[in-house]
Structure 1
């Protein structure tokens, strides 16, 4: 008999203001999803992590600082991703214009995640998104 992992799960990591941090944040997230048997929406989750981390680096992290990535999977199998930064960057509406060269990050997050939003912190902000994942026993029956 296989024992199911205990829920909820949580992990966090801090990243410097460096382009490589986006790749490291994706790798960190990929490992957590695999450990938590919550990989069925991994492509969408990883894209959202990339977008939120990139936005933090470009608009929310002052020089010499970094951002924090928090992942949590609760007992209802809802995966929450939070990116905390310490800057004052403004969050624009996720209404991307087709011809725009930038501004599509939050548009993608809004389209892919089940929920998303912005919260305050001092200093800075928290941008978060949530994904409903399959129940653990459902994955076993579907052969995942």
Structure 2
């Protein structure tokens, strides 16, 4: 490891980007307080803004890490899981959402947890329903990127795990 650090410091271009990412570790997290509301009541402007704030921070971190190629797809994935979490965290009273982004071993992992009572699930919405397609998008995009996603055993956390190197194919 010391040899790699010395090599990167002396001549960063001599180390392939995939190797740098495989050896890079990065972690960022935030906890968001969500206002309480009744089912069917729209998100407050403050709560709705959190999704955009997290997207902006994820964009900056992807650029910092040299993972700009993941930006468009990952921002859509983050938007979907964050919107679900913020929407459901505040039903019936104040709640919270935790967002974690980690890079280690050449993998980028996103985890979004909320305190809401509902459980995320993939639905089969009719053509007239306005919602229910987000997790289908997450599933398809994650698969296209060569990653995987799912829920923790009690369905409180949605996680996405992506390779930092382009998917073979």
Q: TM-score, normalised by structure 1?
A: 0.80
Which residue in the other structure is 2:164 paired with? Answer: 133
In 1: Cα distance, 2:62 partner to 2:129 partner: 32
Which residue in the other structure is 1:55 paired with? Answer: 84
Matches within 5 A, 1:1-144: 1-2=11-12, 4=20, 7-17=24-34, 18-62=47-91, 63-75=93-105, 77-113=106-142, 114-120=147-153, 125-134=156-165
Q: How many residues align?
A: 132
**Is the 1:96–1:104 contact (alpha carbons within 8 Å) kept by the matching residues of 2?**
yes
Considering fraction of residues, name the structure with more helix: 2
- 1:19 is paired with a residue whose SS is helix
In 1: Cα distance, 2:123 partner to 2:71 partner: 22
Following TM superposition, by how much is the alpha carbon of 1:94 offset from its aligned partner in structure 2, in angstroms?
Answer: 4.7
- Aligned-pair RMSD on alpha carbons? 2.1
**Is the 2:115–2:156 contact (alpha carbons within 8 Å) kept by the matching residues of 1?**
yes
In 2: Cα distance, 1:54 partner to 1:109 partner: 12
**Structure 2 stretches lacking a partner, 5+ long:** 1-10, 35-46
Q: TM-score, normalised by structure 2?
A: 0.69
State the structure with more CA Rg: 2
**Structure 1 stretches lacking a partner, 5+ long:** 136-144
